[in-house]
Amino acid sequence: MPYLYDHRKLAVEMELYFFEEAVGAGLPMWLPNGCVIKEELEKFIKQKEFLGGYQRVSSPHMAKSELYEKSGHLRFYKDDMYPAIKMDNLDYYLRPMNCPHHHKIFSSSKRSVKDLPMRLAEYGQVYRNEASGALRGLSRVRGLCQNDAHIYVHPDQAKAEIISVLKLHEECYRELGLDGYRYRLSKHEPSSSEFIGDKKIWIQAEEILRSALIECGLSFFEAEGEAAFYGPKIDVQMKSFSDEGIREESMGSVQLDFVSAQADRFNLEFVDNGGESLHPWIIHRAPLGSHERFVSMLLEYYDGQLPRFLCPVELIIYPLSIEAMKKAEEIQKELRPKGVRVKIDDRLGSSLSKRIVLGSRLRPFASMVIGEKELQSSVFIVEERSKKRVELSFWKNLFS
């Protein structure tokens, strides 16, 4: 089970991000250490998506009101969107989600059943007008970058593709060392007008998600009324620290959308083998959710002691003299081409114990002290956070 700490405190110690009044509440400013975590996570999932047949796209941060009227966001989600921006006598909105843009990318060319499943992926920046009282560090923000993708499938392909997505979720969480999360099947509320589309198809879509979870051997619980307005979804719920105690947050999701492609929405079509035009179903998926919330969960889960590839500082060096400083700079220069993030603590006027206490706030993966003994013997010892001690020459080879 995860250890739970407040990521806001960890972020200050680790120098990850901050909020600036002149920029606006809920709009994080990422510092270099925070960007390391973001970018390494992005590399991690992009490689998996590439191997999974995803194609990367990029789309604007805003669009005309027409796009969001068509998608239904202005009807069902307007309270969570930023107010309109007036330009050329038209209303533009900062996008709350990436899906309407991706639908337009799908429809930019004629598609056939041979093109399906079509997997379009983007780390897309979106904006949500969260109430000021709900904002909380990185876990609840107004500007967020989502690990988004939309998969366009023949309805007969939906279940197999959802199983593939769930396996991707499990692979990611396993490699990141996560535990203690659970799956929620989020269904529609039959008596509510907030869920659009044929009720029979809602039931069919929910059964597809349910059977995919069962076939993957994943335990789950069901929650009525938690679906998106365009279709049911599977949410991955993870425990998170909050001011009120421990709560659950969604860190990823898989949504089955049978509404957006229809003629009264985006009229997305593909031609089947018999020449007939059909509407695809759409799977919205985000295994890592948003950078912001996912990073907050990782920090709280690990108390900032992140897996090595995510550590903003992989090796911190404490030189004890000017000569030792020169040696530290040599080591840093040698390791940098290998992609190793090395920080040199240059506070020579402070005691070593104080420097180590301050350096440990950054949660480095490993540390090394260079003094007269090390310079004389040319034996430099790296101590990993597990207390494992290895010679620098051996440690370097791990990154060859």
Residue of 221, 223, 226 lying closest to 194 (CA atoms): 226
Helix (H) or strand (E) holding 253: strand 245-257
Cα separation values, 345 from 154, 182, 292, 349, 369, Å: 57, 41, 28, 11, 10
Q: 283 has which bridge partners?
A: 151, 256
- Residue type present at position 300: E
Query: What is the spatial distance between Cα 81 and Cα 129, in angstroms, rounded to a whole number?
Result: 5
Residues 6+ apart with CB under 8 A from 216: 163, 166, 167, 170
The burial of 91, by beta-carbon neighbours within 10 Å (0-12 exposed, 13-18 middle, 19 or more buried), is given as: middle
* Three-class secondary structure of residue 10 per DSSP: helix
Q: Contact 54/323 with Cβ under 8 angstroms?
A: no
Residue of 342, 336, 341 lying closest to 370 (CA atoms): 342
Number of alpha carbons in the 13 Å side-chain half-sphere of residue 4:
12
Going by their DSSP bridges, the two strands 143-153 and 281-286 should be labelled as antiparallel
Q: Contact 119/55 with Cβ under 8 angstroms?
A: yes
For residue 280, say if its preceding peptide bond is cis, omega within 30 degrees of 0: no
Catalytic site residues? Answer: 99, 128, 146, 148, 150, 233, 284
Task: State the DSSP code for 259.
Answer: S
CB atoms within 10 A of CB 310: 19
φ, ψ of residue 15 in degrees (nearest 5) = 60, 60
Query: What is the spatial distance between Cα 281 and Cα 232, in angstroms, rounded to a whole number?
Result: 12
